């Protein structure tokens, strides 16, 4: 660590002193169920986070989500309820403006059996959201607190957004993330790093669609020819969409809702499908594909077809500005004895939305861990301090002008 300045060494020592408080935060926060649809749990967590991040200077607020809707199994549009989102703004007039984001929600509902933490080995904590991403939130807060106690703080302004609906596409918080990203030099998002410490580089986009097919009911024996089978039409559309998948577009027809008694030609079906385009061009082609196939299926089966949904996550290429930010993080890692690499991944996150605003982002600045979204999810506890040191050093060096977008 011969390349570290005295101020940087003091910053890292400050982070080192927070090892036990960080672990305590993760354990306490993981004990609060924050499934994306558990509004009581999300409200409790939002207040806990508001109190914790209230230690930072500046303005903090819990902001209401933007209205959103979904399609139920009968094809009806219904309101979606999301929790409030934490927003913190610090030194908006500072020379350098950064964005830090994370999410408080998990994939584990209030009635899911996975509700508590346990040690599965030395330094390995199993628990709901410990890696994805309550560990990441602890890393973010600890790094920012350390920077605030350093001489670098005055030069750095930033916003923090911690949303309540990342695991369900950020439909209620995307507007807040976009507004906070506007004009920022760079961003860090605290999704978990891979177990070996690698970071996610390029990501595809993601679109979720509910496609409502309306046919005509008829008696399955007496006059089936007068019916228009919505389930068959939805199945035909699913097969056609799946056949269009390729290297630049992944397609997953995930579910068909509809049908009823065997003696009735079904008049309603809802196809749920996810599409993941690798590039902006592939996203446009996917939109054209959906429109074309919907028209073809509607004409072929004499049904009406309505499309609900869209691409909530734009593709995130690894452009020159993003590569520059990754190189800064890598250089900071080498100072700390970490050999940090990055590679493309098929997952998506709020980093996609930030990159779409033209802001370079490293979106896996969180803890090392794995098996996320499963009951085997684990956190490598030593990575809490490791990654908080990495963030704090990178932030300090950006504040010192060692990196420019």
* Calpha distance 8→147 (Å, rounded): 10
Give CA 376 to chain center in angstroms.
20
Answer yes or no: 166 catalytic.
yes
* Calpha distance 344→322 (Å, rounded): 13
Tell me: cis bond preceding 133? Omega within 30 of 0 counts. yes
From the candidates 14, 166, 257, 386, give the one annotated as an active-site residue.
166
Is the Cβ–Cβ distance between 142 and 395 less than 8 Å? Answer: no
What Cα–Cα distance (Å) separates residue 293 from each residue in 40, 173, 210, 211? 41, 31, 14, 11
Both structure tokens of 226: 């007068």
From the candidates 14, 105, 165, 267, give the one annotated as an active-site residue.
105
DSSP 37-96: T-HHHHHHHHHHHHHHHTTSSSEEEEEPPPPEEEE-TTS-EEEEP---EEEEEE-TTSSE
Is the Cβ–Cβ distance between 337 and 329 less than 8 Å? Answer: no
Give CA 338 to chain center in angstroms.
25
Answer yes or no: 105 catalytic.
yes
- Taking Cα atoms as reference points, which of 197, 140, 206 lies closest to residue 167? 206
Both structure tokens of 240: 């056609």
* Calpha distance 99→187 (Å, rounded): 5
What radius of gyration do the chain's Cα atoms show?
A: 23
DSSP 329-382: HHHHHHHTT----EE--S---HHHHHHTTT--EE-B-S-BEE-TTSTT-EEETH
Is the Cβ–Cβ distance between 29 and 145 less than 8 Å? Answer: no
Which residues are known to be catalytic? 105, 166
């Amino acid at each position: 660590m011969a390349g570290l300045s005295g101020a940087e060494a003091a910053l890292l020592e400050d982070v080192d002193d927070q090892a036990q408080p960080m672990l305590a935060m993760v354990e306490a926060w993981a004990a609060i169920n924050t499934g994306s649809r558990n509004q009581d749990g999300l409200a409790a967590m939002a207040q806990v986070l508001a109190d914790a991040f209230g230690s930072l200077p500046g303005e903090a607020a819990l902001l209401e989500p933007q209205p959103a809707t979904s399609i139920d199994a009968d094809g009806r549009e219904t309101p979606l309820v999301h929790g409030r989102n934490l927003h913190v703004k610090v030194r908006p007039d500072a020379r350098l403006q950064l964005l830090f984001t994370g999410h408080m929600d998990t994939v584990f509902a209030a009635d899911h059996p996975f509700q508590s933490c346990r040690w599965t080995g030395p330094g390995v904590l199993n628990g709901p959201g410990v890696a994805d991403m309550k560990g990441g939130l602890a890393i973010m807060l600890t790094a920012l607190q350390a920077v605030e106690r350093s001489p670098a703080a005055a030069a750095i302004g930033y916003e923090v957004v911690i949303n309540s609906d990342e695991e369900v596409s950020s439909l209620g918080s995307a507007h807040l993330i976009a507004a906070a990203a506007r004009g920022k030099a760079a961003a860090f998002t605290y999704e978990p790093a891979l177990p070996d410490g690698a970071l996610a580089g390029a990501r595809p986009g993601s679109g979720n669609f509910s496609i409502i097919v309306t046919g005509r009911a008829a008696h399955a024996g007496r006059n089936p020819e007068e019916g228009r089978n919505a389930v068959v039409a939805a199945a035909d559309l699913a097969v056609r969409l799946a056949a269009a998948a390729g290297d630049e577009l992944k397609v997953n027809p995930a579910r068909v809702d509809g049908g009823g008694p065997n003696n009735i030609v079904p008049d309603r079906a809802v196809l749920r499908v996810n599409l993941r385009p690798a590039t902006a061009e592939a996203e446009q082609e996917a939109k054209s594909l959906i429109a074309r196939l919907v028209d073809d299926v509607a004409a072929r089966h004499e049904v009406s077809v309505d499309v609900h949904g869209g691409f909530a996550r734009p593709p995130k290429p690894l452009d020159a500005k993003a590569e520059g930010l990754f190189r800064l993080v890598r250089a900071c890692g080498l100072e700390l004895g970490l050999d940090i690499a990055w590679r493309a991944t098929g997952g998506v996150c709020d980093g996609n939305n930030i990159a779409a605003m033209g802001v370079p982002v490293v979106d896996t600045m969180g803890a090392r861990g794995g098996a996320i979204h499963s009951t085997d999810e684990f956190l490598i506890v030593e990575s809490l301090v490791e990654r908080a040191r990495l963030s704090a050093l990178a932030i300090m060096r950006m504040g010192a002008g060692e990196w420019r977008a």
